Amino acid sequence: MTDNKNPYRKSALTKLFLISAVGVGLSLISSAKLASSTVAHKAGQDAITPKVLVGKVTKGLEQFSLTSEQGVQYHISDPSHILDDLAKKRGVVDNFYTLNRVRVKAVISKAGNYGHMGYYERQISIVGIADD
């Protein structure tokens, strides 16, 4: 038996498809609005404001971290090579180094798994060197 004999079935399936497509579209729009309002709400929070951190920087083969004076360890993201430039200013010629008493401006990430093998709970993105 073919469905061509029942014209109402084809019309009903078309209507069902259109209703489903509209429902999915509205759901996506609602999700996008919720996400944008969440981001806008968090934009005013301290989470994305650079903080001044003081501590020891260690750069090795599988490690690039800052250990704060309070003992908190952060994985470092430094795409502008700010810390490498600081190391050169301090006379370091090696690619791997340790710098003591470093004051940086950095954005702290949300909790997660960062660095080699996800060892660090948080990551900092270096945005500058803090003045004393």
Higher pLDDT, 16 or 95: 95
- Residue identified by tokens 């470093």 is 102
Which pLDDT value is given to residue 33?
A: 60
Q: Which DSSP letter does residue 56 get? A: E
Over residues 29-50, the pLDDT tens digits come to 766 666 655 555 455 455 578 9
Q: How confident is the model at residue 11 (pLDDT cuts 50, 70, 90)?
A: confident
In angstroms, the CA 2 to CA 7 distance is 11
Which pLDDT value is given to residue 75?
A: 95
Over residues 78-123, the pLDDT tens digits come to 999 999 999 999 999 999 999 999 999 999 999 999 988 889 999 9
Over residues 42-74, the pLDDT tens digits come to 554 555 789 999 999 999 998 999 999 999 999
pTM of the model: 0.62
- Residue identified by tokens 């954005």 is 107
Cβ partners under 8 Å of residue 99, min gap 6: 56, 57, 83, 86, 87, 90, 92
Would you say residue 2 has pLDDT above 60?
Answer: no
Nearest CA to 107 among 47, 42, 66, 64?
47
